[in-house]
Amino acid sequence: MTKYRFNTNCVQGTYNPKSGEPRVLPITQSTTFSYDDPDYVADLFDLKVGGSFYTRLGNPTTDAFEGKMNLLEGGVGALALSSGQSASLFAILNICKAGDHVISSSSIYGGTYNLFNVSLRKLGIDFTFVDPDADKDTILASAKPNTKVIFGETIANPGMSILDFDKFSFIAKQLDIPLIVDNTLATPYLCRPFEHGANIIIHSTSKYTDGHATSLGGILIDGGNFNWNNGKFPDLVEPDPSYHGLEYVKTFGTAAYIVKARVHLLRDYGCTPSPFNAFMFHLGLETLHLRMERHSENALKLAEFLQSHPCVDWVKYPGLKSDPYFPLAQKYMPKGASGILSFGIKGGASAGKELVKHLDLVRLVVHLGDLRTSILHPASTTHRQLSEKQQIESGILPEMIRVSVGIEDIDDIIEDFDKALHAAAK
Ligand SMILES: *Cc1c(COP(=O)(O)O)cnc(C)c1O
């Protein structure tokens, strides 16, 4: 625990230079580290001492980013990875193998859905996708004796549903399995899932963590609040033959999960971020609190504007009082509902295409969560690999436009939309 408050931790983090060292986190663009004493290097390999020995497994710049993100989420350890996809992959593979089963919310990022439903199924891990708004007994009924994880997104991308943490963590406790939450869209500024019963958090740091759309990355954070020694997770308890008999729970206690993810999965799969990208994420976090405040404020104003616009059929934004997720948003993210909203333009998919052509300030990009306001038509882009049935299950309608509201002057954003909506509706 730190003595400082959240906003101070965003700015200062865990990087604490000694006298004469750079005030700003240096980029250690080196694969290798030089040592005098072979016994010390042996201790590094045996994990008896901390330190970097090869950048695939750790690097001082990446360490600082992991330390700050861990501090902001309130975990016991973090592991930075090369993309959000690799964070989702590691989150599951660290505790599931062929023959295991996972319950996942069906309202999740399209890339995560494909990873689970296609790629991990091919490795023999079974998934059941559940409506996150179903009652707890319905979700519990999808559990099997081999269920090892329950997974959901704090704010679903792009369905915009809010995870009912109380319900999901209750189910996780009933089944004695960890709750893994993708907190990408909320960020720890708006919601801290460990305080609501989550056990593992993942982020695509390509989004709000970076905040400027410069770098691809992901991170895995361990809440240290799950008892792995319950008979369901032998790989965390029994000796690891690939690491000369290391027993993770016995040796690392509450940090067993995150240590295993690094020394086992990262060692073998190698989804390592570049130190330069870790530097960019660390820099991005310095303004996370200011950005998320403004993203949320601008998104609410744009949502209210669109709601009263004659060319708009519907608006989905959990910060709107009329939104079905407003009560959950108020409960779990009282500081704001983030910068993502979606709306249905009158005239359907074809009017949506026209809208893109008439916007000047707001650009069409396949991304969200950076400073610049952008839009996307999910049905024809991010979710095009899904069937129409799967799209609708993930909350994607054909006329739906997703907006990532930036931190420009809100009046300029509103004027751009107003002009383009009238032109597109003609
Ligand atoms: C973008 C995104 C991902 C995947 O992250 P990448 O960094 O693009 O690999 C995962 N989850 C959510 C919620 C996302 O928005």
Owning domain of residue 138: 29-285
Q: Note whether residue 58 is domain-resident.
A: yes
Q: Note whether residue 90 is domain-resident.
A: yes
Answer yes or no: is the C-beta of 338 below 6 A from any ligand 1 atom.
Answer: no
| Domain closes at, from 285, 316, 343 | 285
The reply to whether 372 and 421 lie within a common domain is: yes
Number of domains present in the structure of the chain? 2
Cα-Cα end-to-end distance for the chain: 57
Answer yes or no: is the C-beta of 218 below 6 A from any ligand 1 atom.
Answer: yes
Ligand 1, residues 157, 280, 367, 396: which to mutate, most atoms within 8 A of Cβ? 157
Task: Give the number of the atom of ligand 1 that is nearest the alpha carbon of residue 88.
Answer: 10
The DSSP secondary structure of 72-108, one letter per residue, reads HHT-SEEEEESSHHHHHHHHHHTT--TT-EEEEESSS
The reply to whether 43 and 134 lie within a common domain is: yes
Answer yes or no: is the C-beta of 84 below 6 A from any ligand 1 atom.
Answer: yes
Q: Note whether residue 3 is domain-resident.
A: no
Alpha-carbon distance of 63 to 333, in angstroms, equals 28
Q: In 125-266, which ranges are E strands?
A: 126-130, 147-153, 179-182, 200-204, 218-222
The reply to whether 348 and 361 lie within a common domain is: yes
Q: By the 8 A CB rule, do 140 and 163 touch?
A: no
Q: What are the pLDDT digits (tens) for 357-388? A: 899 999 999 899 999 999 998 777 777 777 87
Ligand 1 center to residue 203 CA distance, Å?
7
The reply to whether 303 and 416 lie within a common domain is: yes
The reply to whether 271 and 374 lie within a common domain is: no
| Domain closes at, from 250, 285, 320 | 285
Answer yes or no: is the C-beta of 112 below 6 A from any ligand 1 atom.
Answer: yes
Can you give the pTM of this predicted structure? 0.96
Ligand 1, residues 109, 209, 365, 376: which to mutate, most atoms within 8 A of Cβ? 109
The reply to whether 167 and 310 lie within a common domain is: no
Give residue 155's pLDDT band: very low, low, confident or very high (50, 70, 90). Answer: very high
Give the residue carrying structure tokens 């060692």: 267
What is the CATH classification number for the domain harbouring 301?
3.90.1150.10
**What would the mean pLDDT of 72-97 be, rounded to a whole number?**
98
Ligand 1, residues 83, 187, 204: which to mutate, most atoms within 8 A of Cβ? 204
Does 267 have pLDDT greater than 80? yes
Q: What are the pLDDT digits (tens) for 85-127? A: 999 999 999 999 999 999 999 999 989 999 999 999 999 999 9
More confident residue, 2 or 60: 60
Task: Give the number of the atom of ligand 1 that is nearest the alpha carbon of residue 157.
Answer: 13
Q: Note whether residue 14 is domain-resident.
A: no
Q: Helices 288-307 and 410-425 sit at what angle, rounded to 10 degrees?
A: 40
Answer yes or no: is the C-beta of 182 below 6 A from any ligand 1 atom.
Answer: yes
Q: Note whether residue 200 is domain-resident.
A: yes
Q: What are the pLDDT digits (tens) for 121-144? A: 999 999 999 999 999 999 999 999
